[in-house]
Amino acid sequence: MAAYVGLTKPRVIELLLLTTVPVMFAAEGGVPALGLVVATVVGGALSAGSASALNCVWDRDIDEQMRRTRRRALPRHIVSPVAATIFGVVLGVLATVILLVWVNALSAGLALAAEAFYLVVYTIWLKRRTTQNIVWGGLAGCFPALIGWTAVTGELAWPPVVLFAVVFFWTPPHTWALALRYRDDYAGVDVPMLPVVAPPAVVGRQIVLYTWATVATSFLLWPVAGTGLVYIVAATLLGAVFIAEAHRLWAKSRQTENPALMDPMRLFHVSNLYLALLFVAVAVDPLLG
């Protein structure tokens, strides 16, 4: 059972749900119906778990060679590729049914599109072919903001599009920091992540640019959604910390090419904290406003 749960990448699911539920509060302008939140969370979790399981099936050859992934169920041959495929497909079907029946067709369609995009566009097409793999492949992780909003309102609007863009710009610095730490792993399996094919200083500069874009985009929610003081203060303080850490990593990358001395995981963890607290502010702002 633990092996099958591991196939769903629970930490990724946690992050995706963290960008879903707060948007539901923003869409409602308060506390959304509990039943709707539960259905959206369960459907979203199953959809993300399905995409992750099928990703594990496709990437099992390189996962077996990388330190970060070699302990997963497929490289250890605890679960067979056929069983994992069936598991992933079943989760995807259940997710679609739950969202279709207890949420709405638009949310179900968006979840299905995100799953297909992650598996086909990112995993199969981009990941092993281009340094821009995570930039465009990361679009799949932006869909929860849209799903959370449409679950409540039944339609798209500009506020979730802004939050979609925030996650889009946030994904490269978050992922490239991790890729700097495991650069040799990616190089060993010929996955052309940017830190594999570009000098650390170039990666550091790109991280800074995308971080500034993330923070700048986060402020667009103020005029678009009419957010209050809670969100504005949170976006300012969190953005300042995120930008400072990105510049710290860039400065380190110009001094050394040793990932251990750069400590890229520090930015990785800061980026997680940034996104989590920013979306918490999205949820809290209408409650206090």
**Confidence check: pLDDT of 289 > 80:** no
- The confidence band for 68, taking pLDDT boundaries of 50, 70 and 90, is confident
CATH number of 1-153: 1.10.357.140
C-alpha distances in Å from residue 145, one per residue of 19, 131, 240: 6, 26, 23
Nearest-angstrom CA–CA distance, 77 and 75: 5
pTM: 0.96
pLDDT in tens, 149-192: 999 999 999 999 999 999 999 999 999 999 999 999 999 999 99
| Distinct helix (H) and strand (E) counts, the chain | 17, 0
Nearest-angstrom CA–CA distance, 195 and 176: 7
29's torsion region: left (phi>0), alpha (psi -120 to 50) or beta? left
pLDDT in tens, 70-118: 999 999 999 999 999 999 999 999 999 999 999 999 999 999 999 999 9
